[in-house]
Amino acid sequence: MKVKSLTGVLLAAILALSGCVGNVGTISEKKESPAVDDVQEETVVTEPESEPEQSAEVAGDETAEAEPEPEEEEEDEDEPEEEQGPPFSDSLEINTADGKSVAAFYALDTVISMTIYGPESENALKAAADLIDRLDRVISPQREGSELRILNENGNAICSDELIEAVSLGQEYGKATDGAFNIAIYPVVDAWGFFSGEYRVPEAEEIEELLTLARPEDVKEAERPSKEWSNGRRNSKLKKGIVFETEGMKIDLGGIGKGYIADKIALMFNEDYADGVTGAVISLGGNIICLGKKPEGKSFKVGLQDPGKAVGEYLAVITAATSSEGNLTPYSIVTSGNYERFFEVDGVKYTHIIDPETGYPVENGLASVTVTSDDSALADALTTALFVMGYDKAVEFWRSGTYDFEMALIDENGKLYLTEGLKDQVKSYVQTEIITR
């Protein structure tokens, strides 16, 4: 079996036209960095969700201290973990100069990088990092003590509003995409080894059986009793929670979580830093969110990784359509590729996006799907769903107008297809076709 061993493959590169190469934080430099110097521009590298081995690798370098281990404590088994210890952001190495703050670190099982402009850039960066850390303790499927993990282990749990909201968005996008996006696909993804890193090709019967658990409609919001102590007595109070109505089912927010968190950061910046931040570009793995503008009203630019080429070689550049008027308008660019996380057995490539219809990894001639939208959770879920749909259905879905988004599809021959809304925003270096309404 051949497992892809690159320490993560570049999905997209953010090009900020300021000529300060090498100012993007330690991780992208330590990892197999893209050829940033070639473009003579500062490039923040984004990575897709890393494989478990990669996590260990990255955590092993100097960024290890960036992720304090949550202290384990005995708690009610279905109570969300309490926050404790010094703030996550205390351990970050933040580079602040000339009204700009930059940091790169490991969280959400991936590489995060941030470049924030404005007089309050450093505080905003810290607040964003702390928000990421807090929400990671909610939606991470693997992290010890995370809300989602407790829910998956018990089939029911008291949940924070955020988990309930992310799940309900996942359910909505599942319905809207006719099941192509399926938050309950976890047991199947797990059977292929994508969570443990122990990759395998499951038997057809095993897949069939596990598919019977993939029922997102059986995830229900329900009140759960919370056994809290007060005045020396144990009260049974009802709190918001989630219950699985199919035994053994588990949910996976891997296809939407980073987008959901990006939206929360955008919201926080608009509420708390509207005066202190003028622009920001944040990359959560393959999820990039741009807010506002760079200095002098310049737009952020994001490079689209060429799926067939080395890390950092992009085949097109997208100009982020944020506005310089008023507040920090968000613009998300999210990519899912079949070249980033996969394994091979007997020359067959198995990627981490699963077709919920068959239980098998998607294989339909698409190499990557990029979605742009002002809604990052939507963009995230749609990259996964459109990937499952394949070219024809993806185009049909875009034309249906169900959601407001644009997309860039790259097929396995390296041809780029852009929906017409992106036409004037993309500079392409390869054969390109425009998809019209």
What are the residues binding ligand ADP (CB under 6 A)? 48-49, 181-183, 185, 189, 194, 252, 254-255, 285-286, 336, 341, 352-354, 356, 380, 383-384, 388
Q: What does 252 bind: Mg ion, ligand ADP, none (CB cut-off 5 to 8 Å by kind)?
A: ligand ADP
Q: Which is nearer to ligand ADP, 166 or 277 (CB)?
A: 166
User: How far apart (Å, rounded) are the C-alpha atoms in residues 428 and 423?
Assistant: 10
* Of the candidate residues 115, 384, 419, 425, the single one contacting Mg ion (CB under 5 A): 384
Q: Which is nearer to ligand ADP, 127 or 389 (CB)?
A: 389
Q: Which is nearer to Mg ion, 10 or 150 (CB)?
A: 10
Name residue 417's beta-bridge partners: 409, 433
Q: Does 160 bind Mg ion (CB under 5 A)?
A: no
Q: What does 341 bind: ligand ADP, Mg ion, none (CB cut-off 5 to 8 Å by kind)?
A: ligand ADP
Residues 6+ apart with CB under 8 A from 60: none
Q: What is the DSSP letter of 300?
A: P
Q: Does 49 bind Mg ion (CB under 5 A)?
A: no
Residues 6+ apart with CB under 8 A from 317: 15, 301, 302, 303, 304, 426, 427
The least CB distance from residue 365 to Mg ion, in Å, is 19
* Of the candidate residues 263, 306, 380, 406, the single one contacting Mg ion (CB under 5 A): 380
Q: Which is nearer to ligand ADP, 158 or 354 (CB)?
A: 354
Q: Does 383 bind Mg ion (CB under 5 A)?
A: yes
Which residues in 108-169 belong to E strands, given as ranges?
110-117, 156-158
| E strand or H helix that includes residue 176 | helix 161-176
User: How far apart (Å, rounded) are the C-alpha atoms in residues 435 and 421?
Assistant: 9
Determine contact, residues 305/358, Cβ cutoff 8 Å: no
Determine contact, residues 369/407, Cβ cutoff 8 Å: yes
Cβ-based neighbour number of residue 402 at 10 Å = 12
Q: Does 255 bind Mg ion (CB under 5 A)?
A: yes
Q: Which is nearer to Mg ion, 180 or 242 (CB)?
A: 180
- Judged by CB under 5 A, the stretch of 20-28, 42-50, 212-220, 380-388 that binds Mg ion is 380-388
The label of the residue with tokens 């997309």 reads 407
The full length of the chain comes to 437
Side chain identity at residue 107, one-letter code: A
The least CB distance from residue 96 to ligand ADP, in Å, is 29
Q: What does 306 bind: ligand ADP, Mg ion, none (CB cut-off 5 to 8 Å by kind)?
A: none
Q: Which is nearer to ligand ADP, 135 or 183 (CB)?
A: 183
Pick the closest to residue 387 from 408, 401, 402 (CA basis).
408
Q: What does 102 bind: Mg ion, ligand ADP, none (CB cut-off 5 to 8 Å by kind)?
A: none
| CA distances to 82, 109, 125, 239 from 223, in Å | 20, 30, 35, 5
Determine contact, residues 422/372, Cβ cutoff 8 Å: yes
- Dihedral Cα 331, 333, 334, 339, nearest 10 deg: -170
| CA distances to 57, 67, 96, 121, 174 from 109, in Å | 11, 11, 25, 24, 24
Q: What does 121 bind: Mg ion, ligand ADP, none (CB cut-off 5 to 8 Å by kind)?
A: none
- Judged by CB under 5 A, the stretch of 50-58, 114-122, 237-245, 384-392 that binds Mg ion is 384-392
The least CB distance from residue 9 to Mg ion, in Å, is 16
| E strand or H helix that includes residue 59 | helix 52-60
The least CB distance from residue 282 to Mg ion, in Å, is 16
The least CB distance from residue 312 to ligand ADP, in Å, is 18
User: How far apart (Å, rounded) are the C-alpha atoms in residues 395 and 37?
Assistant: 36
Q: Which is nearer to Mg ion, 306 or 340 (CB)?
A: 340
CB nearest ligand ADP: which residue?
254
Q: What does 292 bind: Mg ion, ligand ADP, none (CB cut-off 5 to 8 Å by kind)?
A: none
The least CB distance from residue 195 to ligand ADP, in Å, is 8
Q: What does 354 bind: Mg ion, ligand ADP, none (CB cut-off 5 to 8 Å by kind)?
A: ligand ADP
The least CB distance from residue 383 to Mg ion, in Å, is 4
The three-state secondary structure class of 361 is strand
Q: Which is nearer to ligand ADP, 63 or 336 (CB)?
A: 336
- Judged by CB under 5 A, the stretch of 26-34, 103-111, 247-255, 405-413 that binds Mg ion is 247-255
Q: Which is nearer to ligand ADP, 252 or 306 (CB)?
A: 252
Side chain identity at residue 267, one-letter code: L
Residues 6+ apart with CB under 8 A from 5: none
Q: Does 254 bind Mg ion (CB under 5 A)?
A: no
Side chain identity at residue 363, one-letter code: E
Q: Which residues bind Mg ion (CB under 5 A)?
A: 255, 380, 383-384
